[in-house]
Structure 1
Amino acid sequence: MHTVHEVSGTSWLTLTHTNYGKWAVTTKVKLRARRLWNAIDKGTDNEEDDMSALEAILAAMPAQYREPLGAKNNAKEEWEAIAAMRVGSDRVKKATAQLLKQEYATLKFKDGESVEDFSLRLQSLISKLRSHGVTINEEQAVSKYLYSVPATAMTDSGKLLLIEEEWAVPMKMSGKPLPVVVAMASVAARLL
């Protein structure tokens, strides 16, 4: 005989569109701690364990999933339905991550784009990659930025023009407006 710990008084991580892996691990650990995981893993004839496991899973569900999942016959069916539902979204997430990686690999300045606008676009792309499980470290981000800088932002000796005052000389010589670039340290900080 074992003791079933109270489920309803516990805070449960709520399943979202992006956290299935974390949700599944956290929920499994909490169910194991309450000696309820066997009701899901192997199924059980013990109605008290099965209902406690069902209650725990529903406590971790967004409201729109509670009714259809609550109609399942047992906790094992409920868990399997959630896993099946999330497999499709995991595939979409992986496909999106691949597209974002390709976009990152081919990212270049657009005609007439300011360095600051490019920096913001790069920062946004890095954030999207992170939300899809792809990590771009500081060295990679700065390297991508530096390799993408247009020739107009470089001196003849290959040095990057970092501050507005450095842009003033070539701007006066060419007579064309050039974008303002912030110091490289602040660019790196914004990218990460």
Structure 2
Amino acid sequence: MIHESLKWYTHRPTIEENGVTRPRKYSELTPVDAIQADFDVKATNIILQGLPPKVYALVSNHQIAKELWEIIQLLMQGTSLMKQERECKLYDEFDKFTYKKGETLRDFYLRFLLLLNDMNIYNVKLEQFQVNTKFLNTLPPE
């Protein structure tokens, strides 16, 4: 039923009184609509609990789970694009990584390790031979 809320439940049933349309109160819902409304509330709460505070602040006023889910999907698409952009930058940094003149071997290794850690955080995959080859080929001749 929670899944159904996310798929098709778009609004609570309404009633017209004195020429004004309003959502039905919970006590006015049919038993089937009341069950669906309960599951919609549960779905909404589950979604809201898993959100970072900044996203929560943007979407917490939406009361229908389907509507809430669609808005979050749009917000998270931007996150996905930023992740792809960051991955491209990390691959580029790896390709252009070089020894800096006057740098100690320790400093060189730490810089390389930081880059690899960033790549691991973003799940950027490299083969071990690529890492080893890059490190050895960029060492200074001495």
Q: Which category describes the TM-score, using the shorter chain as reference length?
A: 0.7 to 0.9
Identity of aligned residues (%): 25
Structure 2 CA distance, aligned partners of 1:83 and 1:141? 35
Give the partner amino acid of 1:54: T
Q: Are 1:94 and 1:132, in contact at CA under 8 Å, matched by a contact in 2?
A: no
- TM-score, structure 2 length as denominator? 0.74
Q: 129, 136, 142: which one pairs with 1:139?
A: 129
Q: CA deviation at 1:62?
A: 3.0
Shift of the 125–89 alpha-carbon distance from structure 1 to 2, 3 Å rule, reads same
Q: Are 2:6 and 2:43, in contact at CA under 8 Å, matched by a contact in 1?
A: yes
Instruction: Specify which structure has the higher proportion of strand.
Output: 2
- TM-score, structure 1 length as denominator? 0.56
Structure 2 CA distance, aligned partners of 1:107 and 1:67? 40
List runs of 5+ in structure 2 lacking aligned partners: 13-35
Q: Which residue of 2 is the match for residue 36 of structure 1?
A: 2
Q: Which residue of 1 is the match for residue 31 of structure 2?
A: none
Q: CA deviation at 1:42?
A: 2.5
Q: Which residue of 2 is the match for residue 79 of structure 1?
A: 69
SS at match of 2:69: helix
Structure 2 CA distance, aligned partners of 1:93 and 1:141? 22
Q: 60, 75, 87: which one pairs with 2:50?
A: 60
Question: RMSD over aligned Cα, in angstroms?
Answer: 1.7
Give the partner amino acid of 2:8: K
List runs of 5+ in structure 1 lacking aligned partners: 1-34, 153-192
Q: 51, 62, 67: which one pairs with 2:41?
A: 51
Q: Which residue of 2 is the match for residue 122 of structure 1?
A: 112
SS at match of 1:48: helix
Question: How do 1:1-192 residues align onto structure 2 when only pairs under 5 Å count?
Answer: 35-43=1-9, 46-152=36-142
SS at match of 1:52: helix
Q: Which has the higher contact order (CA 8 A, sep 6+)?
A: 2
Q: Are 2:83 and 2:122, in contact at CA under 8 Å, matched by a contact in 1?
A: yes
